[in-house]
Amino acid sequence: MPDLEYLSKAYFLLLLLVARLGGFLTMAPFFGSRNIQPSLRFFLAFLFGLTFLPLFPAAAYPEPGTLVQAAWLLLKEVLLGIVLGFAAGVFFSAFAVAGQILDLQIGFGIVNVFDPQSGVQVPLLGNLLYLMALIILLSTDGHYLLLHALWRSFEAVPPGGNWGGPGLVEEVVRATAVMFVAGIEIAAPVLGALFLADLALAIMARTMPQLNVFVVGLPLKAALGLGLLAVSLPAYGLLLKALLKEVENSLEAILLLLPPG
């Protein structure tokens, strides 16, 4: 005869695992893409939950006394997964930030495309660089790094455990600040060349007033910006590897700060 009490605990433990996995897959790069249907994302969370379930002794996890307690435990797991997914994906947004800065300087700021990743209108070059970062992430097995960090989170905070140690918010804010700094660093070479182009156009406008710099400057800056961007694309692979290391360090720091102490 099956042990109904054990099955009940195992079922709730599976819900806790799926809740954290679902929150993570919703925010993590690639897994959180809108191209991945919510049903497929739920199936992945359920599949990973079944994989992790035998690694946790269900008998050691007490059942919640009330429905409110169960909902609170599930909510904590979802929020923890969202925090981990956000910390992993925020660095990849640096490429989108760099592309948005370049769009404004080159003149593509008014050209927006519908991004299938986020479902909103994004700058043209920002979308290009972000998709390129995702391709490099998958080609270098970076998604395994994300899944490993997710498993480490279960070691740091067991399912249903308390989390939110001191310094956790500061680490998430630091990761967000690094995203903006990295975005500026990525766009810096092209920005420097565009600044020199603006300076040259300003000198030409003063020396040759009959020259319409607005007509000349727009195609010139577009050709210069796109040319330099094409030349510097191989270097973005090295930048992404550095960002992956930063993702690993940030996730490791967050995992150390998760226990409440």
Residue 163 near residue 257, CB atoms below 8 Å: no
Domain that holds residue 70: 4-257
Distance, in Å, from the CA atom of 216 to the CA atom of 213, rounded to the nearest integer, reads: 5
Residue 116 near residue 107, CB atoms below 8 Å: no
Q: How far is CA 64 from the centre of its chain?
A: 33
**pLDDT of res. 92:** 77
**pLDDT of res. 171:** 83
Distance, in Å, from the CA atom of 259 to the CA atom of 157, rounded to the nearest integer, reads: 6
Distance, in Å, from the CA atom of 49 to the CA atom of 58, rounded to the nearest integer, reads: 13
For the chain, residues with pLDDT lower than 70 are: 1-6, 58-62, 109-123, 261
Q: Which of 129, 118, 122 is nearest to 185 (CA)?
A: 129
Residue at 235: amino acid letter = A
Q: Is the pTM of this model over 0.75?
A: yes
**pLDDT of res. 1:** 44
What tens digit of pLDDT does each residue of 158-195 get?
A: 888 788 777 888 888 888 888 888 888 888 888 888 88
Total of domains in the chain? 1
**pLDDT of res. 36:** 77
**pLDDT of res. 224:** 83
